[in-house]
Amino acid sequence: MNHHSRFRAYHTVRGSAGHLLLWVSATFAMVLGVAGVVVPAAAADTVIDAVPAGNVPIEVAITPNGSFAYVTNSLDDSVSVIDTATNVEIDTLTVGDGPSGVAITPNGSFAYVTNLLDDSVSVIDTATNSEVGTITVGSLPFGVAITPNGSFAYVTNALGGSVSVIDTATNSEVKTVAVEAEPQGVAITPNGKYAYVTNRSSNSISVIDTATHTMIDTIRVGNEPRAVTVIPDGKRAYITNAGDDSVSVVDTRTDAVIDTIAVGNEPRAVTIIPSGKRAYITNAGDDSVSVIDTATDAVIDTIAVGNEPRGAAIIPDGKRAYITNSSADTVSVIAIDQCIGALCIDFASLTDPVWNAAGVFS
């Protein structure tokens, strides 16, 4: 079995707010009508673009300023750089063998890419879009997350049952933390104190204390947990379980599962908008994205995207989501807000009990 075959085998509106929204939409439509202009409206949570990427795109990360998306392309050993203003691929750079995970430092200066098939991490200078370093880690490095202060990168080693801790100042591995079987996803809490790691073959989450780089807890979740993210207030973690088509919700204060949500077929990635009000889940088995209302932990929408969606990331202003479609070699762009021409309406702001008028228009 060659490396590419091996890679494929391994990766198998209410109340007054509602009236206000209608008034805003109607008024804007009336103005356009008087002007003789017909502008179609794009509904919220609608795919507005599909950007060509490389061969089998897996994960995506957005720069802190929201300007660029970095996409790992597993079968041509490259990273695509997409300009989020134009949704056009503007650069492609070569990395290691079988790139999988990608994370960008908080200052936006570097991207860290895990290379699944050569047990390394590529360090990319985002100013020049060039590889400036390679770090040897454990076997089959899969996911990567960076602490909020930018000091450490945590890399899951799927075959080795471990997590490599990289000092980003020296770009060297300074610690290896033993976890359970086949770690894949990793996320850091907003306060930087803990790393949550999904263990696919153990149906568990390992909790790592980032001060000591030691595992301090294990949480049992659903079948084949793949990805994990922590809500912006730090109180809950959302975990995709590909083996039973669900999302586990963990209270990070008690490290206990408090809810299980049924989603689409074979959920992979999970990302949450900056307000923390909605989570977006890629379902690789039915080519869709499930949208979860985090106040009720209920699925409120399902969005059709490209073939076999894997990775997901949301730009910092919370207005668009980028979804990698592994079997289509594209990245779907989802408009999270409703847009009428250049006018975008933020539903989350309008439906708050106390809404912020500045959040209506953008």
Tell me whether residue 38 is in a domain.
Answer: no
Residue 25 lies in a domain: no
Distances (CA, A) of 239 to 164, 191, 339, 343, 361: 21, 19, 30, 34, 33
Q: Is residue 20 part of a domain?
A: no
The pLDDT of residue 10? 53
Assigned domain for 142 exists: yes
Q: Give the CATH number for residue 169.
A: 2.130.10.10
* pTM for this model (two decimals): 0.85
Long-range contacts formed by 285-292: CB under 8 A, 24+ apart: 285/245, 287/325, 288/264, 289/264, 289/321, 289/323, 289/334, 290/247, 290/263, 290/264, 291/45, 292/238, 292/247, 292/261, 292/263
In a domain, 166, yes or no: yes
pLDDT per residue, tens digit, the chain (362 aa), is 455 554 555 554 333 333 433 333 434 344 444 444 444 455 789 999 999 999 999 999 999 999 999 999 999 999 999 999 999 999 999 999 999 999 999 999 999 999 999 999 999 999 999 999 999 999 999 999 999 999 999 999 999 899 999 999 999 999 999 999 999 999 999 999 999 999 999 999 999 999 999 999 999 999 999 999 999 999 999 999 999 999 999 999 999 999 999 999 999 999 999 999 999 999 999 999 999 999 999 999 999 999 999 999 999 999 999 999 999 999 999 999 855 444 544 444 443 433 233 333 23
Number of domains the chain is built from: 1
Range of the domain at 234: 45-336
H or E stretch at 33: helix 15-34
- The reply to whether 7 falls in a domain is no
Q: Domain for residue 3, yes or no?
A: no
Whether residue 354 is contained in a domain is answered as no
CA dist 89 and 78 (Å) reads 13
